[in-house]
Amino acid sequence: MENKEEQITSFKAAMGNYPTGVTVVTAYNQQNEPMGMTVNSFASVSLEPLLILWSVDKKSHHYEDFIKADRFAVNILGANQGDLCTLFSSKVENRFGQCNWEKSAMDLPVLANSLSVLQCKTAQQIDAGDHTILIGAVQHIKNEEKEPLLYHRRTIGAIPKEFYK
Q: The pTM is what?
A: 0.91
Helix (H) or strand (E) holding 156: strand 155-157
- CA-based nearest residue to 34, from 78, 83, 75, 81: 75
Q: Structural domain tally of the chain?
A: 1
Task: Name the residue with higher pLDDT: 157 or 144.
Answer: 144
**CATH code, domain carrying 67:** 2.30.110.10
Domain assignment present for 1:
no
The residue range of the domain holding 40 is 21-158
Which tens digits make up the pLDDT trace of 92-124?
Answer: 889 999 999 999 999 999 999 999 999 999 999
Domain assignment present for 13:
no
Domain assignment present for 119:
yes
Domain assignment present for 146:
yes
Which pLDDT band, with edges at 50, 70 and 90, does 164 fall under?
low
Domain assignment present for 142:
yes
Domain assignment present for 94:
yes
- Which burial class, exposed, middle or buried, applies to 15 when counting CB atoms under 10 A from its CB (0-12, 13-18, 19+)? exposed
Three-state SS string across 26-79, please?
EEECCCCCEEEEEECCEEEEEECCEEEEEEEECCCCCHHHHHHCCEEEEEECEC
Domain assignment present for 11:
no
Domain assignment present for 89:
yes
Give the C-alpha separation, 30 to 9, whole Å.
Answer: 36
SS3 state of residue 110 = strand
Which tens digits make up the pLDDT trace of 6-53?
Answer: 888 887 887 777 778 899 999 999 999 999 999 989 999 999 999 999
Q: CB under 8 Å to 80, separation ≥6 — which residues?
A: 113, 146, 149
